[in-house]
Copies of this chain bind each other. A is one copy, B any other.
Amino acid sequence: MITMTKHIEGLVLSELKQIPDDRGAVLHMMRCDSPEFVSFGECYFSEVLPGCVKAWKKHKIHTQNLSVPIGLVRLVVYDDREGSNSKGMIEEFKLGRPNNYFRLQIPPLLWYGFTCVSETAALIANCTDHPHDPTESQVRDIDHPDMGYSWYKAEFVGNK
């Protein structure tokens, strides 16, 4: 029997609360009692300038918890894990306010990357379960042939 999945196994997309305020909104990101929270390793930000791509990266051990409080990002995940029901699948997410203010949890061993699709710079926040360790991740060029993904295509599939 072949099990078909619509989504990449292990990804968790959670809507985050935005508390409106005339002076500027308050935006949730992660709490120690959030369902997906395991441990706190590090919180950092990655700015992405319009049209720029940061890809591809894969973590061996660390789990990423990403949200986009500023700007709009297209984030892409590629699954080449042996034994995964979603092996070979590419999944795209649009992340940003106000309509796509989600937290995306990416478990280890998945490739991911992102590009800024807003007219001004985007800011990605990441609450990882371990502090940064340069020996723990792998990178590939954005046009690596095994990924089968073109970052510079015009169309955008959007959140599925």
Contacts and interface: CB of A to CB of B under 8 A. Distances in A.
Contacts of A46: 24-27
A149 interface: no
Contacts of A116: 24
Contacts of A29: 42-45
B69 A127 contact: no
A31 interface: yes
Interface residues of A, number: 36
A43 B30 contact: yes
Number of this chain's copies in the complex: 2
Contact of A26 (B31, B41, B44, B53): B44
A47 B25 contact: yes
Contacts of A26: 44-47
B27 A31 contact: no
A104 interface: no
B32 A40 contact: yes
A20 to B, nearest CB: 10
A110 to B, nearest CB: 20
A6 to B, nearest CB: 30
A47 B32 contact: no
Interface of A: 22-33, 39-49, 52-54, 69-70, 116, 121-123, 125, 127, 131-132
20 contacts: A23-B49, A24-B48, A24-B52, A24-B54, A24-B121, A25-B46, A27-B45, A27-B46, A27-B47, A29-B43, A29-B44, A30-B43, A31-B41, A32-B41, A33-B131, A40-B40, A43-B125, A45-B69, A47-B69, A125-B125
